[in-house]
Amino acid sequence: MNKMDLANHSQLKDWMKYFEQKNYISYGVNAHNKESIQQLLNFLQARVRELKKVDHSSHTATILLVGIPNVGKSALANSLHRIGRISAAEKGKLKHATVSPQPSETKNITGLKIASHPNIYVLDTPGVLPSHILDDEVCTKLALTGTIQDCFAGEKELAQCFLSILNRSDEYKKWAKLSNSENERSFADRNIECSTSSEMGMKRKRQYPTDHTQDFVVHDVRRTLFEVISSFDGNVEDERLIEEEFKAMHAAFQVPLESEHYAQNKIAAKLLNLFRTGRLGHYILDSIPRKL
């Protein structure tokens, strides 16, 4: 775990400590990590066994997943179901809750078995939001993470918001090793090379079948952002820095300059996609309230 990961881990622990002080039970989990899901499953089973000691008549426990849209409820339900079946050595068709990068994709309540002895089921539910959100900052954060549709704020504005967060963070410093490498070749050069050599293209596909961190576009975007931020002569909160980053993204994303408006919207959409899929780092958007 590097220093940047330790910083995010420390923030997570601070949030868990905050919830404990508020007498809320909290548990940090990564829905895409098998070990993390297994630890959460063990935690849930222990809690259910404690409840069964009080109510001996209950043979089955049901856990309800509730939260705002597009925060990973369905992904968590699927992971718990898959790991739970493996742990219980159960056979049969594996059920799946619908997972999508778009908000409000879950329409119905889905029940999935996640444990036996005692039997535990998890109910995946559609996301819920207050009917009115009056805080503009809260709305922006919800739209930035994809919880509500981009049309409520605009993709370009959201991309600018992300860049302002990136510029103030230390996340981009991890990409220093991508800059000024002796063997560095632009994405355009690699693209030409691949088009003239199918054998090399197939070799790369075999070498990096699913590892997004090795994606050449992501590589160029990270390098470009690092170089623009590092070389900027001024305050990182200056709006001119964001303008320079947008200009630099034309080459990194291979976006044509035929229409400035079209190009900027295209860049914004691509940038948001990389942020939301975690390929530009991980960020905690809320700070812990000072008043406990």
pLDDT in tens, 15-36: 888 888 888 888 888 888 899 9
Write down the pLDDT at residue 48: 87
10 Å CB burial of residue 87 (0-12, 13-18, 19+) is middle
User: Does pLDDT of 171 surpass 60?
Assistant: yes
User: Does pLDDT of 205 surpass 50?
Assistant: no
Write down the pLDDT at residue 268: 94
Mean pLDDT of 59-63: 84
Q: Are 163 and 211 in contact (CB under 8 A)?
A: no
Q: Across all residues in the chain, what is the average pLDDT?
A: 79
Write down the pLDDT at residue 28: 84
Give the pLDDT confidence of 126-163 residue by residue, as tens digits: 888 888 888 888 888 888 988 887 766 789 999 999 99
10 Å CB burial of residue 40 (0-12, 13-18, 19+) is buried
Mean pLDDT of 84-103: 65
Write down the pLDDT at residue 110: 82
Percent of the chain with pLDDT over 70: 75
Write down the pLDDT at residue 284: 83
Write down the pLDDT at residue 4: 41
Write down the pLDDT at residue 196: 41
More confident residue, 183 or 11: 11
